[in-house]
Amino acid sequence: MTQKLSTQSSAASSHRNPGEELKRQFSWQVASNLFISFKYAWNGVSYAFQTQRNFRIQVVIGLLALSLALYLHLSAIEMVILFLTIGAVLTMELINTALESVVDLTVKQTYHELARIAKDCAAGAVVISAIVSILVGSVLLLPPLLVLVQAGG
């Protein structure tokens, strides 16, 4: 059984670069230390930032909201709520990206109704978190912003 599996694996990967194959061969193993775990996690965030337009947009909007919150001197509790809300949106986008990648890997270039449902639900989770973040941001940022505008700057 093991020999058969390794033969299939070798045959399927014969078109790859040998260095790439060596990296991929042990990709299922647990990271050897905490530093390596954080490196892999950062690779995921970096991948999302480089390849996912929506992730980049959400990062920019989050930074703008945090900048406005600092300018308006929001309280520590309000800042924490804002951080958690922005973090939730970015986390949902990362989970959505991971799920889409796994689904694409599984179904390859074929259509499957369950794959569509999985991808749509993951995208829906991102949309819900984004809508909630807009509501939270509005509740936290609009009142002090309106006071500032009414006071004349």
Residues marked as catalytic: 93
Using only C-alpha atoms, what is the Rg of the chain?
22
Taking CA 146 as the corner, what is the angle to CA 144 and CA 149, rounded to the nearest 5 degrees? 110
Give the closest residue to 69 by CA, choosing from 2, 3, 136, 23. 136
Query: Rounded to an integer, what distance in angstroms lies between the CA atom of residue 127 and that of residue 139?
Result: 18
Query: Rounded to an integer, what distance in angstroms lies between the CA atom of residue 138 and that of residue 65?
Result: 10
Query: Rounded to an integer, what distance in angstroms lies between the CA atom of residue 41 and that of residue 140?
Result: 31
